[in-house]
């Protein structure tokens, strides 16, 4: 029997499918590239971007030249081939989607919200791209739509952040995170496993620390080596060794144990572009990765939050 309460299948973690099922409908993500850049690419914080970022090496998807309306129409058409009456969240995914004047954000986000079939917004960004006027606009948006802001943290360790050229500190992350939480905005935090020099204990500590902040959602990624990136050069020189499947699965299970049970796990594998993925190739078999996680949790009779300790308010988050 599955002892985990927030599940209606064999998952021993609170999946996004379970959260969506509570709302009585399937909700999909309509993915948009609105042509944003990033302070870590344009020279404001750094140049070249994070070492794994294909945007940092000069690559921008062709989508950025296509209007928001056309991208959403195409995405909804793709989604509705599977589920004819599906609703979708407009997902501003590429680069830092709050890194622009509010007037530009307003034009883009309002265009998405007024599109037929769009029932909310998910906005991926960095915690250091949340100026006061952007926060005010997000708070206003939050009163009239289903809004999630997704923050890329990757690791709590600033020494790793220096290696990956993330360009902002953990304390800057907590400041941005708290500003969103104080405004009642749903926040999802991204972390990455397999970053250079990180041990199992460090990756679990990142999850434990994030767990204490009680995020609404967490996305756990595997570091992908993408062609043309500085990480790929490190890999080819033998300076970076990607995670094995067994190490990744073990790490994810230990992380799930220390995350709060009510945090929604929105992703447990990366979605690398198969054409540009160099390593690890095993990550392309998502069903195998997810199945191996399920099996290990069942065999150990463990579940999300089993080792979560309800914390003191260490980070100033009001929850």
Told to check if 225 binds ligand SF4 by CB under 6 A, we report no
Rounded distance between C-alpha atoms, residue 146 and residue 120, angstroms: 5
**According to CB under 6 A, which residues from 108 to 137 bind ligand SF4?**
126
Rounded distance between C-alpha atoms, residue 34 and residue 95, angstroms: 9
Q: Which H/E stretch holds residue 57?
A: none
User: Exactly one of 30, 31, 32, 53 binds ligand SF4 (CB under 6 A); which one?
Assistant: 53
Residue 273 sits at the vertex; the CA angle it makes with 272 and 276, to the nearest 5 degrees, is 110
The closest of 43, 107, 47, 116 to 77, measured between CA atoms, is 116
Told to check if 55 binds ligand SF4 by CB under 6 A, we report yes
User: Exactly one of 31, 32, 34, 41 binds ligand SF4 (CB under 6 A); which one?
Assistant: 41
Please give the span between the terminal C-alpha atoms of the chain, in angstroms, as a whole number: 31
Question: Judging by DSSP bridges, how do beta strands 225-226 and 277-279 pair with one another?
Answer: antiparallel
Q: Which stretch binds ligand SF4 (CB under 6 A): 13-21, 36-44, 112-120, 244-252?
A: 36-44
Rounded distance between C-alpha atoms, residue 188 and residue 93, angstroms: 13
User: Exactly one of 35, 152, 260, 272 binds ligand SF4 (CB under 6 A); which one?
Assistant: 152
Interaction pattern, residues 57-96, with ligand SF4; x per rule: CB under 6 A = --------------------------------------xx
Residue 217 has which token pair?
Answer: 């959602």
What's the min distance (Å) between Cβ of 293 and ligand SF4? Answer: 24
3-state secondary structure at position 241: coil
Q: Which stretch binds ligand SF4 (CB under 6 A): 48-56, 76-84, 224-232, 287-295?
A: 48-56
What's the min distance (Å) between Cβ of 49 and ligand SF4? Answer: 3
The closest of 1, 12, 10 to 306, measured between CA atoms, is 12
- φ/ψ region of 310 (left if φ > 0, alpha if ψ in -120 to 50, else beta) reads beta
What's the min distance (Å) between Cβ of 181 and ligand SF4? Answer: 21
Q: Which H/E stretch holds residue 30?
A: strand 27-32
Radius of gyration of the chain (CA): 19
Q: Which stretch binds ligand SF4 (CB under 6 A): 53-61, 175-183, 231-239, 304-312?
A: 53-61
Closer residue to ligand SF4 (CB): 142 or 154 = 154
Tell me the site size for ligand SF4, rule CB under 6 A: 12
Closer residue to ligand SF4 (CB): 55 or 217 = 55
What's the min distance (Å) between Cβ of 250 and ligand SF4? Answer: 25
What's the min distance (Å) between Cβ of 219 and ligand SF4? Answer: 13
The site for ligand SF4 (CB under 6 A) is made up of 38, 40-41, 49-50, 53, 55-56, 95-96, 126, 152
């Amino acid at each position: 029997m599955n002892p985990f309460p927030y599940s209606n299948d064999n998952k021993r973690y609170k999946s996004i499918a379970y959260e969506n099922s509570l709302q009585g409908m399937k909700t999909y993500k309509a993915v948009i590239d609105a042509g944003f850049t990033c302070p870590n690419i344009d020279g404001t914080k750094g140049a070249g971007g994070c070492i794994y970022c294909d945007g940092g090496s000069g690559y921008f998807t062709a989508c950025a030249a296509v209007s928001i309306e056309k991208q959403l129409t195409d995405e909804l058409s793709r989604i509705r081939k599977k589920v004819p009456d599906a609703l979708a969240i407009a997902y501003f995914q590429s680069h830092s989607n709050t890194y622009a004047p509010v007037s530009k954000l307003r034009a883009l986000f309002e265009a998405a919200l007024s599109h037929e079939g769009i029932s909310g917004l998910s906005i991926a960004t960095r915690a250091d791209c949340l100026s006061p006027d952007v926060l005010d606009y997000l708070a206003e948006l939050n009163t009239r739509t289903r809004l999630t802001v997704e923050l890329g943290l990757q690791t709590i360790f600033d020494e790793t952040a220096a290696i990956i050229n993330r360009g902002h500190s953990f304390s800057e992350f907590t400041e941005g995170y708290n500003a969103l939480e104080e405004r009642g905005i749903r926040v999802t935090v991204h972390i990455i496993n397999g970053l250079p020099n990180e041990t199992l204990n460090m990756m679990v500590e990142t999850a434990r620390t994030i767990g204490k902040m009680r995020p609404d959602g967490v996305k756990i990624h595997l570091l992908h080596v993408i062609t043309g990136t500085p990480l790929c050069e490190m890999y080819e020189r033998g300076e970076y060794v990607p995670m094995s499947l067994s190490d990744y699965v073990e790490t994810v299970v230990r992380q799930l144990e220390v995350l709060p049970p009510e945090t929604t796990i929105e992703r447990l594998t990366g979605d690398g572009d198969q054409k540009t993925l160099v390593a690890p190739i095993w990550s392309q078999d998502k069903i195998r990765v997810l199945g191996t996680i399920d099996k290990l949790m069942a065999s150990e009779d463990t579940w999300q939050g089993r080792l979560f300790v309800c914390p003191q308010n260490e980070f100033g988050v009001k929850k």
